[in-house]
């Protein structure tokens, strides 16, 4: 469960996120969408406790992110758009390191199936410098999934993956949501979001334009038309005069 109330983020005098409130329940996958600079990455970083919010409250799996950041962070994983890896640790050593930080017991038994699920098992003894961009992304994903987080934040998780990798990633996200995980993901690949998300939140200039189930948000901007794509909804919601 993710509960966000009145989240504000300012960078100096500039307000990137304005009074954002929403809730995501276990099993739900929320697509965070909006034009470049709308505040998606900023929001995700605040929710993951990577940067401090200027105001507002965030609860992750019932834990207040400000009052008890360690408990909240134990329950979550953040997958950034630009994965940061350790140059001198192999794929397998990354997982061992993350396991130690999060206190994951018997991590070898968990790491191997994860590497296989993400199709980098044959690179287990390679360093990041020897991996392709997509493989680095997959390693970062494996590291984030190792402690079985209840709450997951993905910033552009599908960019850089090949078509099969995208399908596997979608399946992987859906599998965890069905098992009770709470997921928020930002992406510009709206046709792919439609296949993964149960809910959508549209941001524009740091402000929430709409949120709800995919069906509800679509209905609001569809003007009575049937089968309007999320891409069309996005353009109507963020480009037009509709508020």
Ligand X SMILES: Nc1ncnc2c1ncn2[C@@H]1O[C@H](COP(=O)(O)OP(=O)(O)OP(=O)(O)O)[C@@H](O)[C@H]1O
Which stretches of the chain bind ligand X, using CB under 6 A? 11, 14, 16, 34, 36-42
Count the residues of the shown chain that bind Mg ion, applying the rule CB under 5 A.
2
Find which of ligand X, Mg ion, none residue 38 binds, CB within 5 to 8 Å per kind. ligand X
Find which of ligand X, Mg ion, none residue 42 binds, CB within 5 to 8 Å per kind. ligand X
Alpha-carbon gap, residue 21 to 3, rounded angstroms: 8
Asked if 41 is part of the footprint of Mg ion (rule: CB under 5 A), the reply reads yes
CB of 41 to Mg ion, least distance (A): 3
Beta carbon nearer to Mg ion, 41 or 238: 41
End-to-end CA, the chain: 28
Beta carbon nearer to ligand X, 38 or 202: 38
Nearest to 174 by CA among 141, 142, 158, 197: 197
Stretch that binds Mg ion, among 13-21, 34-42, 107-115, 143-151 (CB under 5 A): 34-42
CB of 196 to ligand X, least distance (A): 18
DSSP class of residue 212 equals E
Nearest to 175 by CA among 25, 29, 59, 14: 29
Find which of ligand X, Mg ion, none residue 227 binds, CB within 5 to 8 Å per kind. none
Alpha-carbon gap, residue 191 to 196, rounded angstroms: 9
Of all residues in the shown chain, the one whose CB is closest to Mg ion is 41
DSSP class of residue 141 equals H
Find which of ligand X, Mg ion, none residue 187 binds, CB within 5 to 8 Å per kind. none
Beta carbon nearer to ligand X, 11 or 86: 11
Token readout for 130 is: 């020897």
Find which of ligand X, Mg ion, none residue 37 binds, CB within 5 to 8 Å per kind. ligand X
Phi/psi at 43 (5° precision)? -60, -50
Which residues face 182 on adjacent strands? 151
Find which of Mg ion, ligand X, none residue 16 binds, CB within 5 to 8 Å per kind. ligand X
Beta carbon nearer to ligand X, 12 or 129: 12
Is residue 30 a contact partner of residue 200, using CB atoms and an 8 Å limit? Answer: yes
Is residue 37 a contact partner of residue 7, using CB atoms and an 8 Å limit? Answer: no
Residues that bind Mg ion (CB under 5 A): 40-41
């Amino acid at each position: 469960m993710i509960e966000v109330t009145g989240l504000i983020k300012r960078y100096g005098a500039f307000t990137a996120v304005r009074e954002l409130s929403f809730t995501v329940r276990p099993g739900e996958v929320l697509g965070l969408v909006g034009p470049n600079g709308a505040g998606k990455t900023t929001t995700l970083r605040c929710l993951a406790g990577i940067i401090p919010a200027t105001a507002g409250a965030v609860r992750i799996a019932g834990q207040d992110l400000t009052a008890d950041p360690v408990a909240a962070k134990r329950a979550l994983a953040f997958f950034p758009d630009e994965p940061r890896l350790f140059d001198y640790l192999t794929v397998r050593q990354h997982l061992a390191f993350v396991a130690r930080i999060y206190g994951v017991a018997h991590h070898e038994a968990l790491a191997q199936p994860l590497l296989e699920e993400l199709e980098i098992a044959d690179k287990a003894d390679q360093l990041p410098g020897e991996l392709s961009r997509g493989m680095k992304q997959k390693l970062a994903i494996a590291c984030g999934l190792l402690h079985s987080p209840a709450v997951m934040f993905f910033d552009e998780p599908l960019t850089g993956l090949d078509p099969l990798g995208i399908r596997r990633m979608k399946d992987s996200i859906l599998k965890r949501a069905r098992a009770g995980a709470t997921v928020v993901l930002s992406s510009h690949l709206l046709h792919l979001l439609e296949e993964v998300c149960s809910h959508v939140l549209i941001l524009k200039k740091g402000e929430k334009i709409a949120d709800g189930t995919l069906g509800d948000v679509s209905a609001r901007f569809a003007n009575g038309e049937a089968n309007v794509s999320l891409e069309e909804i996005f353009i109507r919601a963020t480009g037009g005069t509709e508020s």
